[in-house]
A and B are shown apart, each in its own frame.
With several copies, the nearest count.
Chain A
């Protein structure tokens, strides 16, 4: 039996751009929906703004190979250390693996990445429209507005398929904004889609709309609010290979004058102003 494996033969030092984190807690907060709290002993970057995301390396063993993007749902800096919250839905291999993490598991990630939500001008009212697991970045935005003393201007709308899949917003004591929920089957909150909640909300020229969720939902929001509010912002999704702008894999179609072009969701986005977007921007990734 020979000792030592080929792939470990070079005991090279290991420069890495990834940040080392440790799982604080990892809990299933609704059916298939997990809340992951990460502790970072050394936070060396600037504080993430709401809407930014991180690329999480699910495994160091090449399976799955690529990192997985997740919005930052919450972030707290305590001196040099930091705490980050991620809320993820189990949809495949990577998120399946992530459910096995428990307190103390090491996690490596790259970020914060991308451009977050532009903050609203004073005096404007914010409507945050979250479809399903589009909620996390909007939670970060709500928390940020609230801690900036603007909580009163915020209305968070949150829709899910049913009660089981829904994160109970009442369990988030630091949220402090008004919210309304709905489910497709009426098992919790109003029955219907989150766009129905939006239809019932007052949108005016002083309103800013922030949306994140499945592509069809965001398309519907875009259709409804375009031209009827001050501005609207959408956090888009796309398949990503790198997450930091070098592969051009995350392209999405946007307006460029009378023409169109591709931009990178990870670098030019993930948040885009509604003015840039067309129906084709909301194609399912």
Chain B
């Protein structure tokens, strides 16, 4: 990579702030990578920008009844629910493996109350080897009657402010596309102390089996992901980029380097690969290489040159 006759290799390093530095802009998306054990049979975890693990709650959770996945046009619905091993088992059994493999680890955190989020975050903060926390605000808040934290800027800001006072870890807040107001949400969590925002989480959808007249998913509703949602995700990333100064991490239907480049042009400083990882466990590495190729070909020396470079206006 440093041979004399080669063009300057673009710098893929990304500094998301508050200590979260990635060697490249490509992370795996929460819930699509497990805790890295199975994936490590296929790829070297240290080659990834970061691994974002499945959402962690205080206690282990079983998740939703099957069927949990159903395919849709250019996408899929999942109702995995909040299945996870709980923060204790994560720290004892899962984290050491990830660190041993040289992964930069971002822990997706979830809870049913502000207090649960706080307790999980505090536990994680005792493990300073963690790269950062991704706050999944798409969880229903039991105290507010099941309204999702991510649907209301005030609730989201309250949550983030509490977490901010409890940890020095990087706080990446993951926004829900089901909220009608992405700029408002992004600004609210920025003001409350978020270090970055990532988006989008899945769009709520459903499917029906017309033979049985039952929902296709055991959990009735599911989250839509995959290429189908890419145009919506790209728009929301562009909106968020215009609304805040903290870094924006783009997620949604990224399956090829070109898609990642679109998100970068729209304003993302980094991206996450979710559903496309299911199709081929080497998708993230392919995306990393392709981004590097694109930057080289365009004569750009770093990601910053491409980021947010969308040209809007009359081409004449």
Q: Which residues of A contact B (CB under 8 A)?
A: 4, 6-18, 57, 62-67, 110, 238-253, 261-262, 267, 283, 285
Most interface-central of A11, A16, A238, A248 (chain B CB within 10 A): A248
Known contacts A240-B69, A242-B277; A66 and B293 CB within 8 A of each other: no
**A239 contacts B67, C-beta separation under 8 Å:** yes
Q: Which residues of B contact A (CB under 8 A)?
A: 31-34, 37-39, 41-43, 54, 62-63, 65-71, 73-76, 78, 80, 83, 209-211, 226-227, 255-258, 261, 275, 277-282, 285-286, 289-291, 293-294, 297, 315
Q: Which of A8, A247, A283 contacts B69 (CB 8 A)?
A: A247
What are 15 A-B residue pairs whose CB atoms fall within 8 Å in the complex? A4-B211, A9-B294, A12-B286, A12-B289, A17-B281, A62-B255, A66-B71, A241-B76, A244-B281, A246-B278, A248-B68, A249-B78, A251-B80, A253-B66, A267-B38
Closest chain-B Cβ to A42's Cβ sits at a distance in Å of 16
**A66 contacts B282, C-beta separation under 8 Å:** no
Closest chain-B Cβ to A184's Cβ sits at a distance in Å of 20
Residues in A with CB closer than 8 Å to B261 are 10
Most interface-central of A65, A245, A283 (chain B CB within 10 A): A65
Residues in B with CB closer than 8 Å to A240 are 69
Closest chain-B Cβ to A127's Cβ sits at a distance in Å of 28
**B280 contacts A17, C-beta separation under 8 Å:** yes
Query: In the complex the two chains form, what is the Cα distance from A249 to B282 in whole Å?
Result: 20
**B71 contacts A251, C-beta separation under 8 Å:** no
Query: In the complex the two chains form, what is the Cα distance from A244 to B40 in whole Å?
Result: 11
Known contacts A9-B211, A285-B66; A248 and B80 CB within 8 A of each other: yes
**B69 contacts A241, C-beta separation under 8 Å:** yes
**B70 contacts A239, C-beta separation under 8 Å:** yes
Known: A15-B282, A244-B38, A253-B65. 17 other contacts (CB 8 A): A4-B211, A6-B209, A7-B256, A9-B258, A15-B289, A17-B281, A65-B71, A110-B281, A238-B67, A247-B278, A248-B83, A249-B69, A251-B63, A252-B66, A262-B62, A283-B66, A285-B66
Interface SS, A side: loop
Known contacts A17-B43, A262-B83; A65 and B74 CB within 8 A of each other: yes
Q: Which of B34, B83, B227, B293 contacts A251 (CB 8 A)?
A: B83
Query: In the complex the two chains form, what is the Cα distance from A60 to B216 in whole Å?
Result: 24
Residues in A with CB closer than 8 Å to B83 are 248, 251, 262
Query: In the complex the two chains form, what is the Cα distance from A16 to B297 in whole Å?
Result: 23
Closest chain-A Cβ to B302's Cβ sits at a distance in Å of 17
